[in-house]
Structure 1
């Protein structure tokens, strides 16, 4: 036996057996621990709801409370088949029960209901510090604040906001109600061109520093209407000019709309008697034309168009030199032209520049009037004829003739 214990092979076999036994023991323990963490229908599981709404049970007719958080953290432990539907449906309640407490500071426990007894529940925080105070209710007028009024489109004007209801009831502790300085709703009028009809807006409550106050508001929203107008006025339009036309041109007429409709606030429109165009530089005008001219709007006004069409009608003067004077009438009567000696005159044509620019010397005729004249020397009128719509004058206007 002693030899057996002293044998190296015996010691090696015993060591190997012990090692195998130890390995099997550790493996089994590990597997059991792992099996306990695998969520199956019959195993335990832990699930967490980070933000579970916290309810309040209180005599709300007489008291208000502060210090209660909106949410708490709830941890549920139990069989997977039990807690999974609880977490999914969240058909249980977490609350603080203040119904048996009076005014003052209290530390209360967060409770729950509608959770099966075989589920372990952990709530954080487990307790909370609250302050219970006497309830106070007071009516306040709702104000309307218009924001971005400076970005209201030009020409538009806002009416007086109409609020329904005009007052709301604020409910909180007396200390909080006494801090109330402003109860208002906001309307952003940036780029507003249409009236607002019964827009539902939330009521905001602030202290004198403009800090939000957490109070109960009844009702929480009000209906607001706001009339948006675009006042207008018809005023005379005056076309302004500067400079002078070239010497051969004359301004016959300026045609433009007699009136223009402008938009702006009523107080501004009431002071306006006319609207002018930007100046037209006549020195740059060379022919009759219709041009777009900018309107010089009085400050605070506008129109549907920023320009207006203005038609400039010009007359033009043109001299035709050496227009021949005939020495024979249509009936064959002849006469001698004594003056001018060359039997020619200069003719000035005056009329629309569009006509004058197309006028040729060949279009002009000089006619001698010999009615009631007899033989001898006479000074007679010279008539100049041409296309209709122009004025023709000769220089000289009279000539001297001799009738045989």
Structure 2
């Protein structure tokens, strides 16, 4: 026996044997440990495999002290076993998948995704098996909530948003110190496209962004806030103007032109209303007008403005026509007995007059319908300038060629 130990070949053989035994022992030990929490089992002929996508992952950590990032919300779980055990397990999904971070402190860690409450005769494989996580100390801070109304350009014409309220006005955000320091703005988005009435207590989710506009994944309390906002349709009462173009035909005069309404209520946004001092009808072309009449026309309004109750207005046009009546006689009143009168300018006791009025009023007017009178009361012998008094129909304007005449009394 001693001679064996003195032989170097004997020692080598013994060492090799021990090495082989040690390798086999370690391999069996690793296999037993792996089989406790791994799904890579060899298939039996009677075994089935079922895969569950998007299985939720629980996190075991001191939530009052730490926050963790890097843990996937869902993993893929594969179960293997006999159908009698496998099918109920897949249907009920009463087992748990989790990462245990209870004993870990702040920092970067590689941890195993574990499972519990799986029937012993089922094999389990989880993908991913290991994950890299970052554990950081927890921090909380209050932030004001901003409201961003989007698609305001798609509100109905003339409508705008008035005052708004958000409740609560602040939210508490919890995350790591590093994430809290990165927060740039906390806001909610309210879509007002096609809004037809005020917003009354609409619940909207809160979003958190850094200064670059990147959304941050943080814990928000509460996650939703209540937003209310007024929908306004401002209005303003302004006068109505009637613009004209062109000229009336010869011998016609514009007596009056006006809309049948003096003012209208215009609806528009506040910005549009600021620039509106009046509204006008469409232009009336006077060159086409030869008689008094009423015309229907539309109002011309700025973009975004409306007058719902007055889409069409009536424009009343009153014309006067001028006409000359020749040789209207001049009467003399209050001439004393024994006096005689002669006209120096004009040379005769007649004068031409221009009458103006409606077509109907002047069309049949004659010289006999107009009376020109000079008053000689108190005038002595000699030459005098005296005014002419004109009398005629009330609805007609009469103008003599001269306001005064020159007479001589003898």
TM-score range, shorter chain: 0.5 to 0.7
Whole-angstrom distance in 2 between the partners of 1:235 and 1:259 = 5
Give the 3 Å change call, closer, same or farther, for CA 196–133 of structure 1 in structure 2: same
Question: Equivalent of 2:288, from 274, 277, 284?
Answer: 284
Q: Name the structure 1 match of 2:299.
A: 294
CA distance in 1 between counterparts of 2:230 and 2:162 reads 5
Q: Spell out, residue by residue over 1:211-257, the C-alpha distance to the aligned partner (whole angstroms, 9 max, x if none).
A: 11111111111011111211111111111112222336554543421
In structure 2, the CA distance between the partners of 1:352 and 1:80, relative to structure 1 (3 Å rule), is farther
CA distance in 1 between counterparts of 2:322 and 2:184 reads: 83
Which residue number corresponds to residue 162 of structure 1? Answer: 165
1:198 has 2:201 as partner:
yes
> Retained in 1: the 8 A contact 2:294–2:316?
yes
Task: Provide the TM-score with structure 1 as the length reference.
Answer: 0.65
Q: Is the 8 A contact 1:235 1:274 kept in 2?
A: yes
Per-residue CA deviations over 1:173-196 (Å, capped at 9, x if unaligned) read 111111111111112233434211
Secondary structure of 2:163's match? coil
Structure 1 residues 300, 50: closer, same or farther in 2, change over 3 A? closer
Q: Is the 8 A contact 1:254 1:310 kept in 2?
A: no
Report the secondary structure of 1:178's partner residue.
helix
Question: In structure 1, how many angstroms separate the alpha carbons of the residues matched to 2:258 and 2:92?
Answer: 80
Structure 1's 275 and 223: CA in aligned 2 closer, same or farther, altered over 3 A? Answer: same
1:239 to 219, 238, 242: 242
Task: Output the CA distance in 2 between the equivalents of 1:81 and 1:349.
Answer: 117
Structure 2 CA distance for aligned equivalents of residues 151 and 281 of structure 1: 38
Distance (Å, rounded) in 1 between the aligned partners of 2:288 and 2:93: 84
Shift of 1:316: 7.0
Alpha-carbon distance, 1:91 to partner: 2.6
- State how far apart, in whole Å, the 2-side matches of 1:247 and 1:366 are: 22
Structure 1 residue aligned with 2:108: 105
- Distance, in Å, in 2 between the alignment partners of 1:302 and 1:367 is 55
SS of corresponding position for 1:177: helix
Matching residue of 2:262: 258
Q: How far, CA to CA, are the matches of 1:154 and 1:137 in structure 2?
A: 44
- List gaps (5 residues or longer) in structure 1: 1-35, 38-42, 320-347, 369-383, 394-404
Query: Structure 1 residues 97, 392: closer, same or farther in 2, change over 3 A?
Result: closer
2:18 aligned partner: none
Question: In 1, distance between residues paired with 2:81 and 2:208?
Answer: 45
Is contact 1:203–1:220 with CA below 8 Å preserved after alignment? Answer: yes
SS at match of 2:182: coil
Deviation (angstroms), 1:210 = 0.6
Give the drift of 1:318. Answer: 10
**Counterpart for residue 115 of structure 1:** 118
Deviating more after overlay: 98-107 vs 127-136: 98-107
Matched residues in 2 for 1:248 and 1:97: separation?
105
* Separation in 2, partners of 1:248, 1:88: 101
TM-score normalised per structure 2: 0.64
- Which whole-Å deviations, capped at 9, do the CAs of 1:268-325 have from their partners, x for residues lacking one? 545644323332111123552322233244x764432684312333447599xxxxxx
**1:31 matched residue in structure 2:** none
CA distance in 1, matches of 2:290, 2:115: 95
SS in 1 for 2:88: helix
2: CA distance, partners of 1:247 / 1:87: 100
What is the CA distance between 1:109 and its match in structure 2? 1.5
Measure, in 1, the Cα distance between the counterparts of 2:301 and 2:159: 19
In 2, Cα distance between equivalents of 1:180 and 1:311: 63
Asked if structure 2 preserves the Cα contact closer than 8 Å seen for 1:242 and 1:280, the reply is yes
Alpha-carbon contact 2:165-2:229 (below 8 Å) kept: yes
How many residue pairs align between the two structures? 308
SS at match of 1:160: strand
How far apart in 2 are the matches of 1:254 and 1:84? 91
Residue aligned with 1:146, SS: strand
Tell whether the 8 Å contact from 1:349 to 1:390 is kept in structure 2 after alignment.
no
